[in-house]
Structure 1
Amino acid sequence: MTELGDEDVNDGAAPRVLILVLDPRSHKRSFKRVDGLARHFLDEEGANVDVVTAEPRGWDLLDERARLHMLDKAEARHPLPWLERTVVSRVPRLLVRPLKPLGPVGRFLDRAQTRVSGIVHKRVFLRFYRHVRPLLLMRIVRRCVDRDIDMAEVRRVIVIDYTSVPFAWRLARRYPDLTVTTRQERTLQP
């Protein structure tokens, strides 16, 4: 029983907060903001904190008590980025490699191939991938959350960036009693 006389749905277990920050590089202060939220919920609210991200670097400041779920390797293994790397970089590099010993012509072709591959990657693929990535990450996060996080213990889901919104929307539909918000309020109350 709680102070208000309601039944405690978690049987006395510590509540869990899920912070979704799939693309923290989209906002300059995301890392500090997530660390501040995690520390508050760990220290003040006594909650367990899970941080889900697709960015492997920049988490040195995060409190070690918070569980960090990294999705960067799963994203790299997905067929879409793998196919782009293969078609745009690897195959052309394999075609140009035998021509390298030809001297200046071989070096010129090698530099041209590298430059063209970079341009296609930046100007074509990344523009397309920017729109597809939230949906791709949504599928990857769903598998991670189903496997690693007990959603019955989660009391609040905080969405930090726009890339996390599709998955948060899906969580809100799947668990209607769960508080899913983009507001970074430091409370467990709905």
Structure 2
Amino acid sequence: MSIVFLALGTTRARAVCASARFLVERGVQVDLITVEEKPWRAEGLDERVRVLPLRTRADRMLANKLAAKFYKLFRPYVMWRAARRQALRLVDWNAVEQAVISDSHAIPIGWHLARRHPKLTVAFELDRTPYLGSDPASVPAGSDSAPLVTGTVAD
């Protein structure tokens, strides 16, 4: 069993790090799909979390303002292609129980994942309920949430 976090930036780094720590302490495999590993480790991401970085040539090649404006429009598609070709191939999707969209930039990747894997739960927050065991006091109030998507997604 495993959980995949999708976070292209570090906007919600503390929450992601806390959820990842909660999971790895319970023996759950955790993957983080992001643009760069170093800022996450600096935020305190547990060393047991596997980071799957996305590499795009466009992120490194942007030099002028005009190119940057056009790239902003296409970045969600570019990031999905990078994820599909790189990080997503390294994940055993049969073992993943939930994909957690951790920032707004990761929503397109989550949407594509939900379409590709109709039985996969894709959500904005980690549902900790399956990992509680007999100790519900170990979860802060309000940390559980309903899934964003389960089942098929309409076009």
Q: TM-score, normalised by structure 2?
A: 0.73
- What is the CA distance between 1:184 and its match in structure 2? 3.6
Q: Could you list the per-position Cα deviations for residues 62-121 of structure 1 after superposition, in whole angstroms to 9, with x for gaps in the alignment?
A: 1001101112xx21xx3x456644xxxxxxxxxxxxxxxxxxxxxxxxxxxxxxxxxxx2
Q: 2:13 aligns with which of 24, 31, 34?
A: 31
* Distance in 1 (alpha carbons) for counterparts of 2:109 and 2:100: 11
Residue matched to 2:45? 62
User: Bigger radius of gyration, 1 or 2?
Assistant: 1
Which ranges of 4 or more aligned residues in structure 1 deviate by more than 6 Å? none
* Distance in 2 (alpha carbons) for counterparts of 1:40 and 1:65: 12
Q: Could you list the per-position Cα deviations for residues 36-68 of structure 1 after superposition, in whole angstroms to 9, with x for gaps in the alignment?
A: 110011114x21000010034312211001101
**Equivalent residues of 1:156, 1:188 under 8 A apart:** no
Supply the RMSD in Å over aligned alpha carbons: 2.1
* Distance in 2 (alpha carbons) for counterparts of 1:146 and 1:124: 31
Q: What is the aligned residue count? A: 130
Q: In structure 2, the residue corresponding to 1:39 is in which secondary structure? A: helix
Q: TM-score, normalised by structure 1?
A: 0.61
Closer/same/farther in 2, CA of residues 176 and 128 from structure 1, 3 Å limit: same
Closer/same/farther in 2, CA of residues 139 and 188 from structure 1, 3 Å limit: farther
One-letter amino acid matched to 2:36: E
Higher RCO by CA contacts (8 Å cutoff, separation 6 or greater): 1
Q: 1:183 aligns with which of 112, 115, 125?
A: 125
* Structure 2 unaligned spans of 5+: 132-146, 148-155
Residue matched to 1:16? 2
Q: Could you list the per-position Cα deviations for residues 100-154 of structure 1 after superposition, in whole angstroms to 9, with x for gaps in the alignment?
A: xxxxxxxxxxxxxxxxxxxxx2x43333222211110100101224431111110
One-letter amino acid matched to 2:127: E
* Distance in 2 (alpha carbons) for counterparts of 1:146 and 1:59: 19
**Equivalent residues of 2:53, 2:87 under 8 A apart:** no
Q: Percent identity between the aligned chains?
A: 32
* Distance in 2 (alpha carbons) for counterparts of 1:180 and 1:128: 29
